[in-house]
Amino acid sequence: MSKPIYVLSGPNLNLLGVREPEIYGKDTLEDVRLLCEARASALGRTIVFRQSNHEGQLIDWIQEAREHGSAMVINPAGYGHTSVAILDALKAVDLPIVECHLSNPAARESFRRHTYVSLAATGVVSGFGAASYALAVEAAAGLSA
């Protein structure tokens, strides 16, 4: 049995479905969790699915994934654009890392065009709404055993 794929979500994603639905869609974070679980299970894999509004909590989970995960999907949300500390934590992870965004940040405000997380990510999936997560889980599963 392989180790789980960690699927981590950053700040404000607990409000998915009600927060700017015209940008992020109407699916809730629970819908996203179910989608990720279904995709992982179809691929014979398991996930650990967590969300936090707190940078330090996300860093603790990234460090946990180093030891207990096989790969990571991370939607860093706003922290992607600001957090050197999250980048540093990810750089210490010797696992495939798939950066994931519901929207396509490259097509939005200029400050969203750069994410620190991309410097540590194996690849990025963005712009497909909740399906970005399922595609990211699939990519993470394909990159790990």
User: Which of residues 112, 114, 122, 144 is near ligand DQA by CB under 6 A?
Assistant: 112
Site for ligand DQA in 12-51 (CB under 6 A): 12
Total of chain residues touching ligand DQA, rule CB under 6 A: 9
Q: Is 129 a binder of ligand DQA (CB under 6 A)?
A: no
Q: Is 3 a binder of ligand DQA (CB under 6 A)?
A: no
Task: Please identify which of the residues 6, 79, 101, 133 carries the catalytic annotation.
Answer: 101
Q: Which is nearer to ligand DQA, 70 or 83 (CB)?
A: 83
* Active site (annotated) includes residue 101: yes
**Residue at token pair 């934590």:** 89
* Active site (annotated) includes residue 68: no
CA–CA distance, 145 with 130 (Å, rounded to integer): 24
> Which contacts qualify for 22-30: CB closer than 8 Å, 24 or more apart?
23/102, 23/103, 24/102, 24/103, 24/129, 25/102, 25/129, 25/130, 27/129, 27/130
- Report the DSSP pairing between strands 97-101 and 5-9: unpaired
Active site residues: 24, 101
